[in-house]
Every structure is written in structure tokens, then in C-alpha cells.
Amino acid sequence: MELVTHTIHTNKIKCRSNIQTTLEDDMNVPDTKPDIEKLIKTQGEIHLTDVSPSDSKVTIRGNLSFSILYSSNDDIRPIHNIQGQIPFEETVNMDEVTASNEVFCHFDLEDCQASLINSRKISIRAILSLDCCQNEHSDITMGTDIVSEEAARAGMDTVAIPDGLNKKYSSIAYTQLTLQKNDIFRINDEFTLPKGKPTLDTLLYYEIVPQNMQSRIVDDGIRLMGDILLFALYTPETEERRLEYIETEIPFDGIVNCNGCTESMIPDIEITVASKEIEVKPDEDGENRLFDIEVMLKLQMKFYEDDELQILEDAYSTSCELKLTRENIFYEKLLMKNQSSIRISDHVKLNNNDTILQICNSSGTIQVDEQEITEDGIQLEGAITLDIVYITDNDERPLNVAKGVIPFSHLIEIKGISPEDSYELQSDITQISILMLDSSEVEAKVVLSLCAIVFTNKSLNAITAISEVPLNLENFNNMPGLVGFIAGPNDTLWDIAKEYNTTPESIMELNGLTSNQIHKGDKLLLMKIVDGI
């Protein structure tokens, strides 16, 4: 007899670690820039350049790129900006990490602030969270059937069952990683200043933010859709208007090739901004009215498939002694992929003495402070930090920023989740709207997108090999030919038949049973059987 096997591919988290680190540096104002009178806004972005695993640790290298908007009294134009970078190298200790497998690093820039040392020098300070994990890929082989040696040699699974062989089957539901790929999605587009806006002279500051991003599997690819939110602050050529801005949304839609993916798969796609650039170009009339925008999105893609497999749960033979080799195997089952949106609103006080003429831009960051698995799902506690850019009536300080913090609490409903389960969480701000209530207060409405993919860890004592030895006739002869048996609370017909060297069908026939279900206290006659002698 030969064991028929089936192999499934698993992907589970081997080790995980996270750290929080502070990035800080001082920067002198370039000689070409005027003195700083007041800092208005600081924008920071993290770009990872290298993630290198070695034994027991991971080295992460990257840059903090920052852009600072400030006002000055030493120039005709009051608003200016400076840019810079802070390189960093961090080591994350991970006892079980190995150099042979890739390490995935998720990062979150929780805070980035600039403070004024003097009019020619500033201090930059940012808090960076790094979450690193290494997955372990393994092939698990388990027995699914037993066939005769002739069938095994012929590569056939469905032939006559070997003499005296009795088999019991069960089914397992599992999720396996089918495909994994990293790629880059490039967005190139142009935007022209509307006719009502003056021609650009100097670009002071800009933000390019992908939002409302959606992904959908198509044949051999991923379709990405969304919008690029562009905010640009500039000085116009006309002297009478000292400051101008433009805010618009640019839609994008494209396909990322991914051979082998199908619509039946379950995607887990993490999208981060790898780089973004803007270039001002002259239009057909030679005026600086064109914005050439390029955004590179980094995609980390995993594709899973749910499957069900009939496996060999137990087996014995009445013609020989069948020995089963078992091994504890571990696999994963997708519990749920939950995509939800939260709408948060609150009033934000503007603690300043400026009169607001117009709100021109608002941006925000998400900070999840606590995550806890409960009976009903994943409970999140966090806050949204808002930067609200507005134009004032003060010619010397025509631009200012108000900050606001909106706390939130949300339960991602996932039935059946347990603390032993593993999950990945992605969060993003899809919309911010600001409504002025009066000169010192606004109403902020924020829409958050949350995506959680949850896996349940399962184990199984699977049959991995079989061997057969001749029946011990001495033990067989010492076994009574006919036995009376009273069923216990946990007895099954299969277990009784295996113990007394008979078959479930023989017991049913001998006792006139029409079902293989027995109950505590049932009285049965058992007759031993031997085949092949």
C-alpha cells in the first residue's frame, strides 16, 4: 500500500518587532533665502532606501525629506520655503530573523515639527515608528488517501481498495499564499492653471497626496483607481497679488501587470508613495501655467486563495498491521477581510489673532494609539491631527496654519476573532472638508478608510507516512471471535471497529443498524475479521 499526498503552501509571520525612534537635526537657512520671522507649516515624508536583514537583526536606511513654509519681514514677498533631508540608519533586533528571506517594513511618521533656534537656524524633530516582520514560507505535505502499490506505480488514485483496508476521511479549509509580487505604478499627468488664476512666477510650496485609492483584480493584472490631490502655493507675476494658490483633484486609472492573478483570488495590497515630483512648464504662449506631475506608488502585493482539501484522518487494515506516522502541521485560514469607513467630525478652535479670509488647504495624519482584539473585532483608539492652511487679512503675514486634533474610537467588526489570530491593518484619510463657523472656529469632517485582513492559525495532527507489517497472529488468535460491547459516551463505530479488528459495515450488518450513529448504552455484538489469510 502507498500513501497519496498533497502539498499546500503556507505563509505565516515568523518573527515581528517594532521600534519608535526620534530623528532630529539642525539646519541653517540657505544664503539665498531671507531670515525667518515665523514658521508656518512643516511637511515631512519618509523614504526607505534599504532594508537589510542579517542574523538576529534588520538594518533600515532611509531619509526624512522635509519642506518648511515660513514668513519673513526681510523680503518683498513675505512667504518662502526651504527643503532638506535627514538621513537615518536604524537597527531593529529580531531574534529569529534570517538573512535569506525578505523583511517587510511598515513605517509611520507620527510627528514632524520644526522649531526656530534663531532667524537663520531651525531644528527639525520627527518621531518615526518602524514595524518589521519576516514571513516564513513552507510546503506542508499530508496524506489524502491510501492506494495499492499497483495504483501508485500507474499513477492512479481510483482502483480497487487493498484487501482489509478501512479508511476515514475529513476535510480542512485553508488559505494559501498563491502569488507575491512588488511593483511600481507610475502616474504622469499635466494640470493647467485656470484662466482666472494669474501666471506663476515662483512655486513656494506644494503637496501631492494620493487619495480615494481603489484596487481591483482583472485578468493578469491589478487595476488602480483614485485621485491625486494637488495643492500648490505660488507667487504670481503680477505685483498687486502677492500670494496665490491652487487646489484640485486629478483622477488616475491604470493597470499593473501581474501574471497569474485571477478574480477568484483575495488580494492584500499595500500602497505607499515612493516619490513625487512637480515641474512648472511654460504653455503654448510661453507663460508658466503648466504643472507636470509625476508620482510613483510602491505596491506590495499578496494574493491568497481559499481552498478545501479532503485528507486521510485515520486508517487500519484487517489483513495486516498498518502503522501511521503523524506530524503536527500548522496552517492558516482567512477569517475575514474587512474594509470599512469612519466619518469623524468635530469643531476646531483657531487660537490666533488673525482674521481668516479664506481656507485654502487642509491635510491630516492618522495616529492609532491602541489596538486590541475583543470578542467582536479589533478595537481602535486614535486621533487625527489636522493642519488647516488659510489666508489672512494681514499683508505682512498673509498665510497661517491652524492645528487641530480629533480623537476617534472605532470597532472593526470581525466575528470569531481571537487574541491568537494574526492581522494586518491599513489606514488612510480619504476626505477632509473644513467649514468655517466664524473667524475663530471651524467644523472639520474627516473620512477614514480602514482595511483589516485577519488570519486564524490552525493545527492538525496529519498522517505523513504509512508502513505495513504482517498481522500478529498470536495476538489475533487470543482475541475473542464474538464480543458483547456497551457503547460509552464518546465511542464511535469507527473507533470500536478499529479496536476489535472488524469493520463498521460488519457491525451495522450484525446488529441490524441502519445508521452509523451510536449512543451511550447501546449494546453491540462484534465479530473479528481477518482478510488475506
Residue 512 belongs to domain spanning: 474-527
Which residues contact residue 6 at a Cβ distance below 8 angstroms, ignoring those fewer than 6 apart? 141, 142, 144, 309, 311
Answer with the one of 408, 435, 459 that is the final residue of a domain: 459
| 150, 226: one domain | no
Say whether both 354 and 451 belong to one domain.
yes
Whether 262 is in a domain gets the answer: yes
Statement to judge: residues 151 and 241 lie in one domain: no
Q: Are residues 278 and 380 in the same domain?
A: no
Please answer whether residues 242 and 235 qualify as being in contact, where contact means their C-beta atoms are separated by less than 8 angstroms: yes
Average pLDDT score over the chain: 89
Q: Is residue 181 part of a domain?
A: yes
Residue 445 lies in a domain: yes
Structure confidence at residue 477 (pLDDT)? 74
What single-letter amino acid sits at 189?
D
DSSP assignment letter at 236: E
Joined together, the cell numbers standing for residue 190 give 499635466
Are 351 and 408 part of one and the same domain?
A: yes
Domain annotation covers residue 258: yes
Q: Are 203 and 114 found together in one domain? A: no
pLDDT band for position 437 (50/70/90)? confident
pLDDT score of 532 more than 70? no
- Domain check: are 215 and 352 in the same one? no
Same domain (yes/no): 425, 519:
no
Q: What is the pLDDT of residues 279-332, one digit of tens each?
A: 999 999 999 999 999 999 999 999 999 999 999 999 998 888 889 999 999 888
Q: Provide the edge-to-edge strand list for the sheet that holds 165-192.
A: 165-192, 288-317, 266-282
- The CATH number of the domain holding residue 485 is 3.10.350.10
Average of pLDDT values for 85-102?
91
Backbone angles phi, psi at 99, to 5 degrees: -75, -15
The last residue of one of the domains, among 311, 345, 366, is: 311
Residue 157: pLDDT over 60? no
Is 466 among the domain residues? no
**Domain-ending residue, one of 105, 137, 162:** 162
pLDDT score at 9: 82
Note whether 299 and 265 are same-domain residues. yes
Q: Please check whether residues 403 and 347 belong to one and the same domain.
A: yes
Residue predicted with more confidence, 16 or 152: 16
Asked if residue 101 has pLDDT above 70, the reply is yes
Q: HSE-up of 140 (CA within 13 Å, CB side)?
A: 28
The pTM of this model reads 0.83
User: What is the total count of domains within the chain?
Assistant: 4
The whole-number average pLDDT for the span 67-94 is 90
**Is 317 within a domain?**
no
Domain membership flag for residue 319: no
Residue at 465 is within a domain: no
Task: Name the E strands within 149-265.
Answer: 165-192, 200-218, 221-236, 244-257
Domain shared by 2 and 145, yes or no: yes
In this structure, the answer to whether residues 3 and 148 fall within a common structural domain is yes
Is the distance from CB of 165 to CB of 532 less than 8 angstroms?
A: no
Per-residue pLDDT band at 50 (split at 50, 70, 90): very high
Q: For the residues of 280-312, what is the DSSP string, one character each? A: EEE-TTS-EEEEEEEEEEEEEEEEEEEEEEEEE
Please state, in angstroms and rounded to a whole number, the distance separating the CA atoms of residues 69 and 243: 13
Residue 132 and residue 321 in contact, taking contact as beta carbons nearer than 8 Å: no
Average pLDDT on 18-40 reads 93
Residues across the chain: 533
Q: How far is CA 253 from CA 227, 229, 478, in A?
A: 9, 14, 78
C-alpha pair distances (Å), 414 with each of 47, 172, 260, 283, 363: 33, 21, 30, 53, 30
